[in-house]
Structures are given as C-alpha cells and as structure tokens.
Chain A
Amino acid sequence: MDYWLGALPAADEDSVEQHLMVCDECGDRLRDIIALADSLRMLARSGSLQVIISDQLLERATATGLRIRAYAVRRNESIQCTVAADDDLLVARLAVDVSAASRIDLSWCDSGGVERQRMADIPVRADAGSVLCQQSITWAKASPTSTMTARLLAVDEHGGEQLLGEYTFHHTRTIPGPAGW
C-alpha cells in the first residue's frame, strides 16, 4: 500500500518496481491493493461514513464543488437542522475546549437521553477548539423528523467521564419518506 500511495523512500520504490517487472504474483497483489484503494476513495468521497474529519478535508471537498451542509454548534446549544436531497456532505462543527482531556468520546443520544452510539477516543488535537464530525448523508436523508443530542465527554484512565459539551439537533425531515424508522 505504501508503494501505491507514493509513501516509500526512492530507493525502496526502485526496488519494488524492479521486482514488479519480474513477479506477476506481486502484480496480482498490487491489483488487489489498487482495487481496495479505489473503493476506499469512492467511499470516502460518498459522504456515507460517520467520521471525524479535518478542516483541510472539508476545504478540499468544497473546492471540488460538493454541496456541503454544515452546522456550527456552540457548547450546550440546540439548533434546527435538515438535509436536502442534493446535499453531498453533512458536517457538524462542535465547539469545545479539549485542552485538558487525554481522551475524548462523542456520544450520540436520542431525545430520551439514551445513548444510541458512541464514537470512542475520537482524533482531535488539544488546541483544536472544535470537533468536526461528518454524519452519514445516506442515513440523514432517510432519517425521520427527530431530536438527537451529541455529547462530548472527557474520559480518564479509570473510565471516569466528564461532560465537556452537549449539542442538540432538532432534525426536520424535508425529503419525502416514512414518518419513523
């Protein structure tokens, strides 16, 4: 994979290319890697994954002409939100100070406060000031009108949790579909 990604030092890349010119078995293996890389690229660009992303990725998505629906939410704020049929990416920017936390979990809860999903140990720099979470656009387009709350939690080495911020999303369905899941 490092060869395919262009991440090898020049000397190692030369060796790999010499070998690929005489070894069809390794050529087949490289074709498998190319297939995986191509599929991962399509998946990454599809907006269907729930994943923590960087500002840089968001800027690149914008530059390529994707239609991005982004909600910036302050700590302990509630917002109204929706998603349209022609949106490509759905992103929530959650403002938070994580400078004192060693591990951050993002917990998604329903309107009754019951945790439905937890994104454990999310990648975020201590000086970031916010967490940028891409929600699955596929899921959001199918989602009925509902309320979800995101909770950012600092987790210590003993499993103790401290609430860093709570963000409530009142989602209104604008795309035709069933009233509930």
Chain B
Amino acid sequence: MYVELSDADIARRIVDGDREAEAELCRRMGPRIRLYGLRHLRSPSASDDLVQRVLLQVLESLRGARLRDPEKLVNFVLGTCRMIVLDLRRSAHRQEELLARFGDLLVPESAPVPALDDQQLARCVQTLKERERSVVVMTFYDDQTAAETARFLGISEANVRVIRHRAIRQLRGCMGATL
C-alpha cells in the first residue's frame, strides 16, 4: 500500500505521525541519496553516512511539520543532500559524532553496485582503437579531466568527450548482458 503512495502523500503521513510512512521514505530515498553520495563523495562508507544524516534531518523536519509544501519533498531531500555533502567535506569529525550518536538507525538496504567480469573487461579494452584506449586509461586512472587529456592528444575537449563516449558505448556493447 505504501509503495503506491506518492512522495507527497508519504510526506503528509509522516507529518501525521505514521511510522510506516517513515519506513517507506527511508526505503525509497535511501538508495537515491546513496547514489548522490557516491557521485560527490566517491566513497561507499561516506555515502552510507550521508544517507543516515539526510534521512535523519528530513524525518525530523517532516515530524516537526517544517516542510511547508509536501509536493517539494524531492527538492527538500536533494537540497539536504547538497548541504550535508558540503558540511561533510568541511568537518569529517562532526560526521563521526553523529554516527556515534545515532548508531544504526535509519540505515536502508542499499542496492548493490553490480560486479563486472574484470578479465572480460580487459579483453574488451584491448579491442578499442589506440586513441580510445589511451583516453579511457587517462580518464579513469585518476579522474583526469577532458581538458588534461585534450592537451596530451592535441585535440579539443569536445573531441575527447566524443572519443570517450564512443569507447564507453563500445565497452558496454562488448560486456553484453553484464552491463
């Protein structure tokens, strides 16, 4: 029943004190917040911490009826993510304090990141054209920007992005059903 409710309806029920709605919010938003964390924090454990802190703050705001428009729940969650990521970057020790305080509360089940066949991927990478392979290696070795790669290759950043897109598309095709 709760699965079918809209985000706004979930928010309204939480304001009314419905604990099942709180659990549904955590199940629904936890994995999405974790993805945001992976993108911005580049760390699974830091992303898990982010999930806890965002959910805690969102639930406290909803319980206190501080979200005026329930239709804006997603915006509120995203805004909270952004603020807490900034905060996490500023003060890592404060994060540890909060974790110690709230322990394992509000930990949603996270969708796992799928595992790939690394040997197959290596074979696929070797089938790329030389230029594509160099771009892939330089991009992923340590998140080199398109600008840095472009300087090495003596081409434009736009061209680097085109080469990278083509290579990724080929790799996804080569990896077949596993991607």
| Chain A 32-60 residues near chain B, CB threshold 8 A | 32, 34-45, 48-54, 56-57, 60
Classify chain B's interface size: 35 or more
Q: With an 8 A cutoff between CB atoms, is B39 at the interface?
A: yes
Q: Are B78 and A121 in contact, CB atoms less than 8 angstroms apart? A: no
State the CA gap A32–B121 with chains docked (Å). Answer: 13
A146-B111 Cα distance, complex, nearest whole Å: 49
A36 near B137 with CB under 8 A, answer no
A51 to B134, Cβ gap below 8 A? yes
Contact residues in A for B175 (Cβ distance below 8 Å): 36
A5, B143: Cβ atoms closer than 8 Å: yes
B81 to chain A, nearest CB (A): 8
Give every chain B residue within 8 A of A123 (Cβ-Cβ).
130-131, 134-135, 152-153
Say whether chain B's binding surface is mostly helix, strand, loop, or mixed: helix
Contact A43 B152 (CB under 8 A): no
B129 interface hit (Cβ, 8 Å): yes
Q: How far is the CA of A145 from the CA of B144 in the complex (A)?
A: 36
Contact indicator A57/B32 (Cβ below 8 Å): no
Residues of B within 8 A of A20 (CB): 32, 35-36
B31 pairs with A24, CB closer than 8 A: yes
CA distance A124 to B168 in the complex (A): 21
Given contacts A43-B122, A49-B125, contact A31 B114 (CB under 8 A): yes
Residues of chain A with a CB closer than 8 A to B36's CB: 17, 20-21
**Interfacial residues of chain A within 116-151, with CB under 8 A of chain B in the complex:** 119-123, 125-127
The answer for the CA separation of A50 and B161 in the assembled complex, in Å, is 22
| Chain B residues within CB distance 8 Å of chain A | 7, 29, 31-32, 35-36, 38-39, 74-75, 77-78, 111-116, 118, 121-122, 125-126, 129-131, 133-146, 148-149, 152-154, 161, 164-165, 168, 171-172, 175, 179
Q: Could you show 22 A-B contacts with beta carbons less than 8 Å apart?
A: A1-B168, A3-B39, A4-B39, A21-B29, A21-B32, A32-B179, A36-B179, A37-B140, A40-B125, A40-B139, A40-B171, A41-B141, A49-B122, A49-B126, A49-B133, A50-B126, A51-B134, A52-B133, A56-B148, A57-B138, A119-B130, A127-B154
